[in-house]
Amino acid sequence: MTYVLSTQSAIPAGSLVAAPHPVLRAAGLLLRPWDTADAPVFLDAYRDPEIRRWHTRSPASEDQAREWFAGYRQDWAQEKAANWAVTRDGGEVLGRIALRGMNLDDGVAECAYWVLPAARRTGVASGALTAVSDWALREAGFHRLELDHSTRNEASCRVAAKSGFVLEGTKRSAAVHGDGRHDMHLHARVPGHGRPAPTDY
């Protein structure tokens, strides 16, 4: 079914893909689209117990990881999502960050991220989240960015808070993880609420 908006779209359709998928920089980090050569490190990341604990989907092979990358490219072309490999100045892959569920009409999207064990508590997660958030809110035209995480995932909560995402509440029994249903914290960042504070996470 096709709907006709009674209000102006926050982000006109086609405006994001009018330019290439953005490459973003933040203090020693370069965020770029995933490449087929990243499949081994991407697959290995989902073997990490902490990443598996908080994610219900994982690739089963390098070929499947490359299929995910192809899906990421398609999502960008359709203005549904944007996915970045978080790297150390374009070299070593340190993590993943994404804007998912892009709603261009309302100007809302959801952030998701993980980092590899060696990159934790080094500012990588918050640096990447801040870079993506700044681009989304200041350049892409989004008005509200959301992220949620299990109330038991204290590290993700710290990253969200240090990146300027305000805790808005708890969604009860909102997600399934490997050990059952979890309550989820909902955070959001909107323009005009200042820059996040420095962090060690």
Question: Residue type for 196, please?
Answer: P
Q: How many contiguous H segments (helices) and E segments (strands) does the chain have?
A: 5, 8
Residue 14, pLDDT > 60, answer yes
pLDDT at 193: 66
Q: Which of 24-28, 169-173, 191-195 has the lowest mean pLDDT?
A: 191-195
Task: Please tell me the number of Cα atoms within 13 Å of 131 on its side-chain side.
Answer: 26
- pLDDT tens-digit series, residues 134-192: 999 999 999 999 999 999 999 999 999 999 999 999 999 998 888 899 999 999 999 98
Q: Which 3 state secondary structure label does DSSP give 72?
A: helix
Question: Residue type for 23, please?
Answer: V
- For 45, phi then psi, to 5°, come to -60, -40
Per DSSP, 199 falls in state: -
Q: Which 3 state secondary structure label does DSSP give 180?
A: strand
- pLDDT tens-digit series, residues 52-103: 999 889 999 999 999 999 999 999 999 999 999 999 988 999 999 999 999 9
Torsion sign (Cα): 114, 118, 120, 122:
negative
pLDDT at 195: 52
**What is the chain's Cα-based Rg?**
17
**Kindly report the CA angle at 182 between 178 and 187, in degrees rounded to 5?**
120
Tell me how far apart the 2 most distant CA atoms of the chain are, in Å: 49
pLDDT at 4: 73
The pTM (predicted TM-score) of the whole model is 0.91
**What is the C-alpha to C-alpha distance for residues 156 and 132, in angstroms, rounded to an integer?**
16
- pLDDT tens-digit series, residues 105-142: 999 999 999 999 999 999 999 999 999 999 999 999 99
* Stronger pLDDT, 2 or 28, i.e. the higher one: 28
Per DSSP, 20 falls in state: P
Residue 194, pLDDT > 70, answer no
* Stronger pLDDT, 175 or 5, i.e. the higher one: 175
Are 149 and 157 contacting, i.e. CB atoms less than 8 angstroms apart? yes
**What is the C-alpha to C-alpha distance for residues 97 and 129, in angstroms, rounded to an integer?**
7
